[in-house]
Structure 1
């Protein structure tokens, strides 16, 4: 499968996350492309006892942090090597499971429901939203939150592009307003989309979108 091979190539070039962040924590959630920058998991509310699904969980570092806060967490990634790395690093944590699957297939066949669905620079950016967003909505608890982030589209960029690093993966570069319309069409409400400013010395912010089922 071409997409699997593309994401495997991408994964091979990724540097593993540090063992400890700037605050000395061994687990943490990072919404942006910059280390130690941006909001934390508190924007999701209390996670104790909630069910969380992360689409495109990679090596599981963000999801592992949420499991330490009492959430029951499931991670899905298309690249088999990411699954192996996630299990090797975080498999000892309770309430945390990982799967290898294409996200539309997984969301279609899983039963749910999920209280929180995350995609941090993940499949919401790389899957046709008119197909994926309604599937996610069907698997969410009433009032559950969908939160995702990615780089905002550059001025003049077409909504659909190609991920250079992955070679052959389509990317949906939508603006905040475009995501708002797509989410509303899929049945979400309470939609909030904003640009997180970059740290000093950087020019590209991060688009963070939240919506409720």
Structure 2
């Protein structure tokens, strides 16, 4: 992989450039995903495999339909919060030079196994999306599907993505909409039709097992612009008629048909 030196480390299933000193939210999320990895892959793996890895969000809307990333052949892609790397495996199959980053050792073990079963090469890094052990301006596409931009601090992940992108490079990621977080009670199995949180001041969300992050739409825009990222699109996803998912209860489908539950930001590094 020209221009990208391999970090040193002792991991034999992923390049290990991991700092043991983590902020509280990162340590908690890492512990959650280590504990939940096997169950998650058992419950969600089939849906992810059925889409070939190349589909977005809870409802797995195909990349071929949304065309978020475009032609990736010969391009270096970096997935922040890759989990078992289903996306990166799919991109490697269509010619990308794929790199996946995750904080969870167990998720990376699953990624290592899956990539070898698929017969493709995905470079795996054990690191936080807030501090990736790669040089400046070394990738063409940074992306995430409910990954680091949900489970790490956007104030740290966005500038890190900007640092890693070559001029003209693409940043694209899916996450929850602010509206979903405003309407989903902590103890509920699906969102409701009442606002339960304040919109202004959205930030860190402490849940029972994870700590997640949200921003208002204006805050996202200002964060992108502060780090030299030009906004190309904000796609509010709507599940297709009759769509099913292994992630949420069926009641969430009716909600997501009425109001946007997921969004994809598509922004580009200036200076091409």
Same fold (TM over 0.5): yes
Residue 71 of structure 1 pairs with residue 127 of structure 2: no
Deviation at 1:39, TM superposition (A): 4.1
Deviation at 1:7, TM superposition (A): 2.3
Residue 202 of structure 1 pairs with residue 254 of structure 2: yes
Please list the CA deviations of residues 134-157 of structure 1 after superposition, one character each: whole Å capped at 9, or x if unmatched.
Answer: 121111111110000012123453
Deviation at 1:12, TM superposition (A): 4.0
Please list the CA deviations of residues 115-143 of structure 1 after superposition, one character each: whole Å capped at 9, or x if unmatched.
Answer: 00011101112222222211211111111
Residue 174 of structure 1 pairs with residue 226 of structure 2: no
Question: Which moved further from structure 2: 182-191 or 143-152?
Answer: 182-191
Partner of 2:11: none
**Runs of at least 5 residues in structure 1 that lack an aligned partner in the other structure:** none
CA distance in structure 2 between the partners assigned to 1:72 and 1:85 by the alignment = 19
Contact 1:195/1:208, CA 8 A, preserved across alignment: yes
Contact 1:51/1:116, CA 8 A, preserved across alignment: yes
Residue 123 of structure 1 pairs with residue 148 of structure 2: yes
Residues 177 and 197 of structure 1: CA distance in aligned 2, closer, same or farther (over 3 Å): farther
Residue 139 of structure 1 pairs with residue 164 of structure 2: yes
Taking structure 2 as the reference length, the TM-score comes to 0.67
CA distance in structure 1 between the partners assigned to 2:214 and 2:123 by the alignment = 30
Partner of 2:45: 17
Deviation at 1:163, TM superposition (A): 5.6
Partner of 1:105: 131
Residue 48 of structure 1 pairs with residue 94 of structure 2: no
Residue 160 of structure 1 pairs with residue 188 of structure 2: no
RMSD across aligned positions (CA)? 2.3
CA distance in structure 2 between the partners assigned to 1:168 and 1:66 by the alignment = 28
CA distance in structure 2 between the partners assigned to 1:197 and 1:75 by the alignment = 27
Secondary structure class of the residue paired with 2:142: strand
Secondary structure class of the residue paired with 1:84: helix
Secondary structure class of the residue paired with 1:149: strand
Residues 20 and 122 of structure 1: CA distance in aligned 2, closer, same or farther (over 3 Å): closer
Residues 6 and 139 of structure 1: CA distance in aligned 2, closer, same or farther (over 3 Å): same
Residue 5 of structure 1 pairs with residue 31 of structure 2: yes
CA distance in structure 1 between the partners assigned to 2:239 and 2:217 by the alignment = 17
Contact 2:130/2:153, CA 8 A, preserved across alignment: no
Larger Rg: 2
Secondary structure class of the residue paired with 1:105: coil
Contact 2:89/2:120, CA 8 A, preserved across alignment: no
Q: Which runs of 4+ in 1 moved over 6 A?
A: none
**Runs of at least 5 residues in structure 2 that lack an aligned partner in the other structure:** 1-26, 183-194, 242-252
Taking structure 1 as the reference length, the TM-score comes to 0.84
